[in-house]
């Protein structure tokens, strides 16, 4: 039996227990619970949740919010009872750092994959996530990938030997090089963060071109979705700014390619606190941020389920 972390407000609404009573019982250990950052959650046993897949957060534009998206979405999925693996495929190692992982050895990173063809042993984090960390040593992989035939399929092959995870989320580097291709082609499709700016919108064109190339290559060896882009996530959104709203309107034109999530608001204070405290954004005490991540997670799961249903009915 698996367990999930339920916000007290949700549990109180479902059971009729006053939320103040519930929080008091949690703090005294009278009911099963766990504190994550500034929040208590009720620990509830559940049946195996539905949903699975390998997805890469991908864009060649820097600063679009890929890393925080992987961290926060991965954490939210783990709280729902899914078994989640996060892979840091960026030599900058921001995901690794933001999750509080320190003193990473080269053999813990994807360099191990290049040497052995297998995933390295994962680190298990306090929030239940598994992590393949990164470090600056990973920068050495780019040249070596260029020299090895079919090297960009190594991660795809290795991950399909690891059935223990429901979801694998990969944080790719902002590039179109061999390491980015390794991360992208390992997945069932791309999650594309789009900064709500002209720069972010222009980057979508390059992402779609790269996605089409990855899909064409993979279709020669495997069954792949009609669109290799599976989910657009508008990021750094400020609803008070006319430019952001115009970009959001223009992004709607890509709805025919993949579902578009509700936008993630630009929150510099909570984001800074999350990275400094090695916490997911939803755990730093900002209620609106937590609600946004919960909404994003539900939209992501709906998008994944919708695509899986389409695949089942295709001839």
Residues pairing with 44 in the sheet: 4
Asked if 251 and 45 touch (Cβ cutoff 8 Å), the reply is no
Asked if 58 and 186 touch (Cβ cutoff 8 Å), the reply is no
Q: State the number of CA atoms in the 13 A half-sphere of 173 facing the CB.
A: 20
Length of the chain: 315
State the average pLDDT over residues 241-254.
95
Reported as a single tens digit per residue, the pLDDT across 189-238 is 999 999 999 999 999 999 999 999 999 999 988 888 888 999 999 999 99
Strand ranges for the chain from DSSP E: 2-6, 33-36, 39-46, 53-57, 84-89, 123-124, 130-132, 167-172, 189-195, 229-235
Q: Is the pTM of this model over 0.85?
A: yes
Supply the pLDDT for residue 40.
87
Phi/psi class of residue 150: alpha, beta or left (left: φ > 0; alpha: ψ in -120 to 50)?
left
Supply the pLDDT for residue 312.
43
Residues pairing with 6 in the sheet: 42
Does residue 313 have a pLDDT over 60?
Answer: no
Reported as a single tens digit per residue, the pLDDT across 28-40 is 888 898 888 888 8
Supply the pLDDT for residue 299.
96
Does residue 308 have a pLDDT over 70?
Answer: no
Average pLDDT, the chain: 90
Q: How far is CA 259 from the centre of its chain?
A: 16
Count H helices and E strands in the chain, helices first. Answer: 12, 10
Asked if 46 and 81 touch (Cβ cutoff 8 Å), the reply is yes
């Amino acid at each position: 039996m698996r367990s999930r972390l339920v916000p007290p407000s949700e549990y109180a609404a479902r059971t009729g227990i006053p939320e103040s009573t519930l929080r008091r019982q949690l703090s005294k250990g009278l009911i099963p619970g766990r504190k994550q950052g500034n929040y208590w959650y009720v620990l509830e046993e559940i049946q195996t949740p539905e949903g699975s897949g390998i997805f890469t957060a991908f864009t060649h534009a820097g600063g679009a919010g890929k890393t925080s998206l992987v961290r926060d979405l991965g954490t939210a999925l783990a709280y729902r009872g899914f078994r989640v693996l996060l892979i840091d495929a960026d030599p900058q190692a921001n995901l690794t750092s933001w999750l509080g992982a320190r003193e990473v050895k080269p053999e813990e990173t994807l360099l191990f994959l290049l040497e052995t063809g297998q995933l390295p042993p994962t680190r298990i984090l306090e929030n239940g996530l598994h992590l393949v960390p990164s470090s600056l040593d990973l920068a050495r992989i780019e040249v070596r990938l260029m020299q090895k035939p079919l090297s960009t399929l190594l991660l795809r092959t290795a991950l399909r030997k690891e059935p223990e995870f429901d979801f694998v989320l990969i944080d790719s580097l902002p590039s179109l090089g061999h390491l980015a291709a390794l991360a992208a082609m390992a997945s069932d499709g791309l999650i594309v963060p789009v900064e709500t700016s002209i720069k972010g919108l222009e980057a979508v064109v390059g992402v779609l071109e790269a996605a089409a190339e990855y899909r064409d290559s993979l279709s020669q060896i495997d069954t792949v979705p009609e669109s290799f882009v599976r989910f657009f996530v508008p990021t750094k959104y400020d609803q008070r700014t006319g430019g952001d709203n115009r970009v959001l309107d223009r992004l709607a034109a890509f709805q025919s390619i993949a579902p578009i999530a509700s936008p993630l608001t630009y929150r510099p204070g909570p984001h800074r606190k999350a990275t400094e405290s090695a916490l997911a954004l939803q755990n730093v005490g900002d209620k609106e941020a937590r609600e946004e991540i919960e909404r994003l997670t539900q939209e992501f799961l709906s998008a994944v389920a919708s695509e899986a249903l389409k695949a089942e009915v295709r001839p």
